């Protein structure tokens, strides 16, 4: 293992690959919670969602897995077919997250690079993402450039029970 000279901590090695069923109970949900509230998502609910999404070519999930098998980073690549560009594909990178305690070790950049490579292989003509202003420099180092303005409107939140249930919204 390499030693991090700045902090004296040993760097934990990891590999980046596509998400697997067993990752759900090995820190995937905890890692996502470092990004946003997971709404009490249980491993069983996450597995149901993953089963439904993994068969859809729109979704590609990447995780960084430490040597001990724990997920320490993740991202999602969504692939959108367009009418413009003669039906070209656009990649959307979402939910880039690094598990608490593993920041600053290259994990985030590694999962983003994996998503970018998958987008290249799939033939996407561009990849876009939204980020907070304090992360702009991070993404610029990965080759992204500022473009357009991100806008958002929050609609009804999905119910926290019964993940994946269609048509249910919190009241």
**Cα 12–Cα 107–Cα 30 angle in degrees, nearest 5:** 85
Joined tokens for residue 50 = 């993953």
- Give me the residue spans of the domains in the chain: 16-141
Buried b / exposed e over 94-129, threshold 16 CB at 10 Å, is: ebbbbbeebeebebbbbbbbbbbebbeeeebeebeb
DSSP-assigned letter for residue 91: E
Find tokens 């430490």 and name the residue: 66
Taking CA atoms, 163 is separated from 21, 63, 115, in Å, by 16, 21, 25
For 88-128, how does the pLDDT look when each residue is reduced to its tens digit (9 = 90+)?
999 999 999 999 999 999 999 999 999 999 999 999 999 99
pLDDT at 2: 31
Task: Determine the pLDDT at residue 150.
Answer: 87
Per-residue pLDDT tens over the stretch 143-159: 999 999 888 899 987 66
Which token pair is 121? 């292989």
Tell me what pLDDT residue 156 has: 83
Number of H helices, E strands in the chain: 5, 5
Residue 61, classified by CB atoms within 10 Å of its CB into exposed (0-12), middle (13-18) or buried (19+), is: buried
79-83, 92-96, 138-142, 165-169: range with lowest mean pLDDT: 165-169
Tokens matching residue 131: 């980020």
pLDDT of residue 12: 64
User: Whole-model pTM?
Assistant: 0.84
CA distance 1 to 13: 7
Percentage above 90 pLDDT, the chain: 81
Residue 15 falls in which region: left (phi positive, over 0), alpha (psi -120 to 50) or beta: beta
Q: Is the pLDDT of residue 169 over 60?
A: no
Question: Per-residue pLDDT averaged across 30-52, rounded?
Answer: 96
The domain defined by 16-141 folds into Aminopeptidase (3.40.630)
């Amino acid at each position: 293992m390499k030693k991090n000279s700045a902090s004296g901590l040993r760097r934990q090695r990891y590999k980046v690959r596509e998400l697997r069923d067993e990752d759900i109970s090995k820190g995937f949900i905890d890692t996502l919670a470092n990004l946003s509230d997971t709404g009490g998502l249980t491993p069983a609910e996450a597995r149901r969602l993953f089963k439904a999404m993994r068969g859809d070519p729109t979704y590609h999930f990447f995780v960084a897995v430490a040597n001990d098998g724990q997920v320490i980073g993740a991202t999602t690549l969504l692939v959108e077919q367009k009418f413009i560009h003669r039906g070209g594909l656009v990649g959307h990178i979402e939910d880039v997250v690094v598990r608490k305690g593993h920041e600053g070790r290259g994990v985030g950049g590694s999962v983003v690079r994996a998503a970018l490579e998958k987008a290249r292989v799939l033939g996407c003509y561009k990849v876009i993402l939204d980020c907070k202003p304090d992360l702009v420099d991070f993404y610029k180092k990965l080759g992204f450039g500022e473009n357009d303005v991100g806008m958002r409107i929050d609609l009804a939140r999905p119910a926290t029970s019964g993940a994946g249930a269609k048509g249910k919204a919190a009241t």
